[in-house]
Structure 1
Amino acid sequence: MKLLVTGGAGFIGSAVVRLAVARGHAVVNVDALTYAACLDNVASVAQSPLYAFEQADIRDRAALDRVFAKHRPDAVMHLAAESHVDRSIDGPGDFIETNVIGTFNMLEAARKYWTEAGRPETFRFHHISTDEVFGSLPKDPSIKFTEDTPYDPRSPYSASKASSDHLVRAWHETYGLPVVLTNCSNNYGPFHFPEKLVPVIILNALAGKPLPIYGDGSNIRDWLFVEDHADALLLVVEKGALGRSYNIGGENERTNLELVRTLCAILDEKRPKAQGSYADQITFVTDRPGHDARYAIDPTRIRTELGWRPSVTVEEGLARTVQWYLDNEPWWRALQGRKGVGERLGVKA
């Protein structure tokens, strides 16, 4: 199968690219190379005859048409998106342009290509989204997001992703475009851009800096190892039912404070400080505006229909992630100078 992967130089996209090539798929990586992208993320497959790279912006419809005509993919995996909630609070316009207008351009370019190819039944447009479109859950562990949970986005980021989800469903219903959708929980793992919570904690700990936790640290997330997510995404694009959405979760709920303490304990073991614990650096900071209390995925559909379950516990995945950052300092050092990295964002609301 030839896959056109948008955002393939980003965190989740690069995990998909690496796994797809390893499994023998041809991959066309389409990425604009914005601040969070890094071609080093796909260096391990860059010389493969199965891999091709096209620098193109999903906001540029003409460029997308050229990519489709040149490479003629069997399926699209659309991951390109602005994804940092704090940045969406400071600059929502970028999120509307990329996540909404960019997805519209992708849908139209894919529809044109699919129609001109005779509307092949095997073509797929896989739209990758987030559980944040569903809003915030109460702390009751029996209540989780299902595919039928009403949308209730609370941030500019989640609202832009909700909008893109609606567009994808509309293109399926109106034009018959063969689509599948997925909504995932919080990802973590190797190559995670160093402005997100897990790498921030690891890198601040190593630098002797405060470990910032929003509010009282009670916000709960369902943590999904990025390589497990990539495995699920490839399964959905190959075997998911048309027009169907699948929630992908790690089945690993933790409060932010629990997560940070786990990371500190792993670092204490792998690279102990001269004195004390990395947990001594934990600092509580002013909460994010509109910070959702809890996200949790009910993965029943993907488990029962497609047989997928995560393979990595959060403790195992975090240990692997910490070790990766310890072993790959040149990678993250090179990204720390990019705009906004290391700064507190999202406090202008």
Structure 2
Amino acid sequence: MHHRSPFAALAGATVLVTGGAGLVGSRITARLRVLGARPVSLCTMDAYPNHVYTGLFGVDRTDPDVVTGDVRDVPLVRRLVAESDYVVHAAALADVAACTRDPLAAIGTNIAGTQTVLDAVAAAGDRVRRMVFVSSASVYGDGSPEEASHPDLVTMRQLLEAVHGRIPPQFHEGHRMRPVSVYGNTKVWGEEQTAVVLGQVGISYAVVRYFSVYGEPQTVKRGSHSWVVAWFAARASLGLPLHLNGGGRQVRDLTHVDDIAEGTLRALTSPRAHAETVNIGTGTATSIRDVAELVRAHYPGTELLGTPLPAGDPLGGYASVRRMESVLGWRPEVTVAEGVARYVRWLRDTPQAAPGWLRENALA
């Protein structure tokens, strides 16, 4: 029996991806090309040095469908949206530490920029078949005690408490949002504003909450404490110790960028995703210490150092995946052990991905 591809609607469609030159955006646009769509990227391309975009993320800056620009540029955003069948709004100041250091920059990109995109989508009327707003597990913060004590989770809780010394909450889409960072706050606003603006004019939308994205060709930024797999692998490859902020007790649901891209495109096309909010995660809790041990297995002798917990760094939890499986008919495929091994292999083949300033630290 022939099953229609869940992505059949994308063949020949124009899909605007804001933030399309970033790690996730570049993976989404590459997948769209394979599916026969025409992706258009809008990106400031100032989050990384140029060689990261062109050499690591594979962005062709000479391509007319790669537009260097800001999501707050009203005429530009209106023009691009008016020519698009679908919109994935992934542009954001997505670094938790950077948002904490400069809240006004976070408000500019994540709030004013999102409003500009929403206004353009609303103005485009029936032209846009669906917009996906990219949100984050940071909207859940550290969860709440009543959520962690759900009777269905008792056995899992006992197991996790034995492993992690605390009970990491399982985050369900219906839980109250309790962000503990500026970044998380901007994502709460973006989710609610998407529902308000597009709901009023009857344009289809979906919200995806990414859990901790990792995977090749992710590369680290100075002053950031996000992207733990990339940080640990880069440091271990240079013989530097791995810093376990807060002892590494924080829990993340590490989700490979290939699975993040797949889940996003399913949310863009699945009929059941209309007006839904869906976690994109694996449903597995992995502590930061677990990640360090997985990386250390590839770089024996790597030292682990306990360091203080930075402001705005949530203790975290893991995704409930029931709604994702039901709405998208899918679940992520890459395990953390497999994903870490893939990243280490890629880093060995691409040593320039460990930035120069980190190498200087190793030589100091």
Place the TM-score, normalised by the shorter chain, in its bin. 0.7 to 0.9
Pair 220,178 (structure 1): closer, same or farther in 2 beyond 3 Å:
same
What is the rounded CA distance, in whole Å, between the counterparts of 1:312 and 1:10 in structure 2?
Answer: 20
Work out whether 1:63 is the aligned partner of 2:89: no
Unaligned runs of 5+ in 2: 1-12, 150-155, 158-168, 222-226
The 1:322/1:252 distance shift into structure 2, 3 A limit, reads farther
Asked whether the 8 Å contact 1:18–1:44 carries over to 2, the reply is no
- The answer as to whether partners of 2:19 and 2:92 remain within 8 angstroms in 1 is yes
- Unaligned runs of 5+ residues in structure 1 are 269-276, 343-349
Q: Deviations over 1:54-112 (max 9, x none)?
A: 1110021122123234xx11100111111111122211111111011100001011111
For residues 252 and 322 of structure 1, the distance between their equivalents in structure 2, rounded to whole angstroms, comes to 21
State whether residues 212 and 252 of structure 2, in contact with CA within 8 Å, keep that contact through their aligned partners in structure 1: yes
User: Which of 295, 317, 321 does residue 295 from structure 1 map onto?
Assistant: 317
Does 1:74 pair with 2:89? no
Equivalent residue letter for 2:72: R
The answer to whether the Cα contact below 8 Å between 1:132 and 1:295 also exists between their aligned partners in 2 is no
Q: CA deviation at 1:337?
A: 5.4
Q: Can you list the C-alpha shifts for 1:90-148, whole angstroms capped at 9, x where unaligned?
A: 11111111011100001011111x22xxx24x611111110110111367745411111
Task: Report the Cα distance in structure 2 between the residues aligned to 1:184 and 1:35, rounded to whole angstroms.
Answer: 19
- Structure 1 residues 290, 43: closer, same or farther in 2, change over 3 A? closer
Question: Structure 1 residue 39 and structure 2 residue 51: aligned?
Answer: no
Which secondary structure does the structure 1 equivalent of 2:305 belong to? strand
1-structure distance, mates of 2:183, 2:80: 27
Alignment of 1:21-40 (within 5 A): 21-36=33-48, 38-40=53-55
C-alpha separation in 1, matches of 2:252 and 2:294? 14
Bigger mean CA deviation after superposition, 135-144 or 203-212: 135-144
The DSSP-based 3-state class of the residue aligned with 2:273 is coil
1:208 & 1:74 partners in 2: Cα distance?
A: 48
Deviation (angstroms), 1:321: 1.0
Q: Structure 1 291/249 Cα, relative in aligned 2: closer, same or farther at 3 Å?
A: same
Partner-residue secondary structure (3-state), 1:216: helix
C-alpha displacement of 1:168: 0.6
- The reply on whether 1:171 has 2:171 as its aligned counterpart is no
2:130 corresponds to 1:127 = no
Query: Which of 100, 103, 113 is the matching residue for 1:102?
Result: 113
> Cα RMSD over matched residues?
2.3
> How many aligned residue pairs are there?
319
Q: Is the 8 A contact 2:90 2:133 kept in 1?
A: yes
Alignment match, 1:257: 289
Is residue 2:242 matched to residue 1:215?
A: no
Return the alpha-carbon distance in structure 2 between the equivalents of residues 33 and 309 of structure 1. Answer: 31
1:329 aligns with 2:361: no
User: How far apart are 1:41 and its partner, in Å?
Assistant: 4.3
Deviations 1:209-243 (A, max 9, x none): 22111111111111101101111111110114321
Amino acid paired to 1:167 = Q
Matched, 1:237 2:252: no
Distance 1:265 1:165, change over 3 A: same
Q: How far is the alpha carbon of 1:331 from its aligned partner?
A: 4.1
Q: Could you tell me how far apart the structure 2 residues matched to 1:54 and 1:283 are?
A: 42
Q: Is the 8 A contact 2:14 2:38 kept in 1?
A: yes
Aligned residues of 1:225 and 1:250 also touching (Cα < 8 A):
no
Q: 2:5: which partner in 1?
A: none
Aligned-residue sequence identity (percent) comes to 25
1:12 aligns to 2:24 (yes or no) = yes
CA apart distance, 1:40:
3.3
In structure 2, C-alpha distance between the alignment counterparts of 1:47 and 1:91, rounded to whole Å:
32
Instruction: Give the Cα separation in 1 of the matches to 2:134 and 2:214.
Output: 16
Q: Comparing both structures, which one devotes a greater share of its residues to helix?
A: 2
Q: Secondary structure at the match of 1:187?
A: strand
Residues 180-226 of structure 1, C-alpha deviation per residue, up to 9 Å, x if partnerless?
Answer: 11102101101213133221111111222221111111111111011
2:230 aligned residue (199, 216, 238) = 199
Q: How far apart in 2 are the matches of 1:222 and 1:310?
A: 11
Q: Map of 1:77-156 to 2, 5 A cutoff?
A: 77-112=88-123, 114-115=124-125, 119-120=126-127, 123-137=129-143, 141=156, 143-156=169-182
List per-residue Cα deviations over 1:236-282 (Å, max 9, x = no partner).
Answer: 101143211111112331110111111111233xxxxxxxx11xx21
Deviations 1:265-309 (A, max 9, x none): 1233xxxxxxxx11xx21111111243222211011121232111
Q: Write the distance in 2 (CA, Å) between the matches of 1:166 and 1:100.
A: 11
Question: What SS class does the counterpart of residue 38 from structure 1 fall into?
Answer: helix
Mapped contact 1:222–1:254 kept (Cα < 8 A)? yes
Kept in 1, the 8 Å contact 2:243–2:307? The answer is yes
**2:172, 2:320 within 8 Å by CA — same for their partners in 1?**
yes
CA 1:66–1:304: 2 relative to 1, 3 Å? closer
Indicate conservation of the 8 Å contact 1:18/1:45, yes or no: no
